[in-house]
Amino acid sequence: MAARLVINHNTYDEVLQGIVAGARRHLWLVTADLKDLHVEATAGKFVPFLQVLADKLKEGVEVRLIHAKEPGPRFRDDFDRFPELIRSDLFERILCPRMHMKCVIADGRIAYVGSANLTGAGMGAKSENRRNFEAGMVTEDRETIAQLMAFLDAFYLGDWCTKCQRRDVCPDPIA
């Protein structure tokens, strides 16, 4: 299958309502910016994206979240409301100030790579006149996804950390 282009609000449908919702074994989320994103759970009812992640953990889905900076106070308040995010062995979070990638991978079978951060404006969860202009690609190409996952695994294991020349600004080095 060829990659398909997703633009603006389609990012919300494809990534949050499609890829994230469809994850059954593992879900990798990589973003530079992370904010208090809310998503539609049932008709007209919106919940914090962190609740979606907590529910995924309850379903036995492994969740890996990599982001570049510490989120704001509303995100941190919501984070504390979901004990699964704190206690679950299935949840891993890494903060790396050099991370500028934006991608979402579910089960090693489908991936989004694009410009959108995990924010309401980035993912298209805000009104048409308030959200960012974003573009990305969704692919199910196994080789492309395998290469992306190999890079992220090396990152996760600290392969880039030991040679990083920005350790002076890193709040929590991996290695």
Structure tokens, 119: 């924010």
pLDDT of 1 over the 70 cut? no
pLDDT digits (tens, 9 = 90+) for 158-167: 888 888 888 7
pLDDT attached to residue 86: 92
Fold classified for 4-169: Endonuclease; Chain A (3.30.870)
pLDDT in tens, 63-81: 999 999 888 888 888 899 9
How many Cβ atoms sit within 10 Å of the Cβ of residue 150?
10
Please give the Cα distance from 118 to 120 (Å, whole number).
7
> Distance (Å, rounded) from C-alpha 98 to C-alpha 9?
27
Q: pTM for the whole thing?
A: 0.93
